[in-house]
Amino acid sequence: GAGAGPEGTGVGAGGGGVAPKDSAIEHLRVVLLYEQGMRVIPRYRIREECFDAATGWVHLDIPLAEAVSSQNVSGSLRRIALLGDGEGEVYVGQALLALDPDPLDFVIKAGTGAEDEITVRAGEPVDFYLEAKKGRRGLIRYTWDFDDKDGIQEDHVSATPEETVPVTKEQAGTYTLTVTAHDRDQVKENRQQTFKLIVQPNERAAAAGPMIKEAGQ
């Protein structure tokens, strides 16, 4: 078996069995079996950009540091088990342990992939998520602030960039969302990105306002 790498180590794997984009498998459960104990990544999303159309393989960078210990772990890494959330076949062509020297880098996205800013109506929910560009193989913690007017605070915490974070603003205005990536091992410098959320008045609410006022006079 391979020796267990330090925190921040990742494994790269190629799997031909999940290459078709219509595959029923969308998430993997990664189980790391050591000489004693195990670590588990319960839900690793297979992103579309992982597919290599030229070779038909899926390239996954699995951050081992994100695995949660289910019991005391010691000794070398002996086996890696991959389980899917649907019926299908997974073939591992190659598995490599690697350190990640790259600095943290990510972008904030909304809805179907909007970057930098998005305009919505008051009361309209928006699903935000992060796209990690590089440097994500360490144990990274993402903190969200939904409005910088009251200072940068921790309104929400994400353990993975793929986590969907819904945001709904009831009041019209311009809001700046701030996400900070923290390396829990404090090896890499924190990285911060912002996103502008423009909220326009709800047309129905605006139309109903004068009518209610007149009815009360």
Please count the CA atoms within 13 angstroms of the CA of 105 that sit on its side-chain side.
Answer: 7
What's the whole-number average pLDDT of the chain? 79
Mapped onto helix, strand or coil, the DSSP state of residue 125 is coil
Q: pLDDT digit string (tens) for 121-142?
A: 999 999 999 998 876 666 688 9
CA 164/CA 147 separation, integer angstroms: 18
CA-nearest of 168, 169, 146 to 157 is 146
| Homologous superfamily in CATH for domain 105-202 | Immunoglobulins (2.60.40.10)
* pLDDT at residue 89, rounded to an integer: 74
Domain boundaries, the chain: 10-98, 105-202
CA-nearest of 172, 136, 180 to 154 is 180
Degrees to nearest 5, angle at CA 193 with 191 and 199: 160
* pLDDT at residue 217, rounded to an integer: 35
Q: For the whole model, what pTM was predicted?
A: 0.54
